[in-house]
Amino acid sequence: MKTKFKKAGLFIPVLLLVLFSSCYYDYAVTSDNYDIVSSSYNTGYNFQSVTRYYLVDTVNQFNGGGSSVYNSLIKSSTITNLNNLGWTKVLDSTQADVIVSMGTTSNTYVYSSGGYCYWGYYGYTYCDPNYYGSTSSYTTGTVVIIIADHKVKTGTTIPAQWIGILNGVMNQQNTATRIQNGINKAFNQSPYLKHN
C-alpha cells in the first residue's frame, strides 16, 4: 500500500509541473504586438450603392510628420483591397461615387531616467556621481485612410463615410509588412464594404 502512495506522491508533482509549464506561452514581445487597427463608418450610409472610387494621388503628411518612404505601399495596398472588395478605380474624380484619401503622421517620444539618488538621514540627499541615467526614444506612426462621398456635404465640408486607422512603433525592420497587414486588417474588418 505504501508503494502506491510513494508512486502517486511522485507522479502528482511531476504531472502538475508538466501541466503548468505547458500552459505558459512566451509571446516574445515585439513592436507589432502593440499595433492598433481601427475602422469606423457612418451606419446610415449605403455602401452598396457606390462602386466607383477616385484615389487621391498624394498621401498627405499631417502635422509635418510621417515619412514618404511608405507612400507607394499605402496607395497600392489601398487599391488592392478596394479592388478585391469589388470596387472600381476611376481616373476622373467627377466619374467617381466616392473619394479615397490617405495620410500619415508620426510622433517621437523621448523619455529619460535620472541619476541614482536617495534620501539620507536628517533630510540630506546623496547622489551617486557614477550613474547619470539614460535617455531613450521611440517613434510611432499613424496611417489614415478615408472614404468620403463628395455628393454628401455638411455645409462646406465633405464628411467621411468610412475611416481606417492603423498605429504602431515605426523604428523596426518590418515596418512595411506591418503597414500592409494593418491596411488589410482595416478592410477585412469592414465587411459592409464588399460588393457581390
- DSSP state, residue 156: T
pLDDT, mean of residues 169-182: 84
The confidence band for 123, taking pLDDT boundaries of 50, 70 and 90, is: low
* pLDDT, position 157: 87
User: What is the distance of C-alpha 169 from the center of its chain?
Assistant: 8
pLDDT, mean of residues 49-70: 85
84 or 153, which is more confident: 84
Task: List all residues 6 or more positions away from 187 whose beta carbon is below 8 Å from its beta carbon.
Answer: 39, 81, 82, 84, 85, 164, 193
Q: What is the pTM of this model?
A: 0.74
In CATH terms, the fold of domain 29-193 is: Double Stranded RNA Binding Domain (3.30.160)
Helix 71-84 with 175-188: angle, nearest 10 deg: 30
Contact 106, 141 (CB under 8 A): yes
* pLDDT, position 20: 57
φ/ψ of residue 170, rounded to 5: -90, -25
Q: How far, in Å, CA of 119 to CA of 121, rounded?
A: 7
pLDDT at 25 over 70: no
* pLDDT, position 43: 94
From 180, 165, 182, 194, select the one nearest 40 (Cα to Cα).
165
* pLDDT, position 75: 96
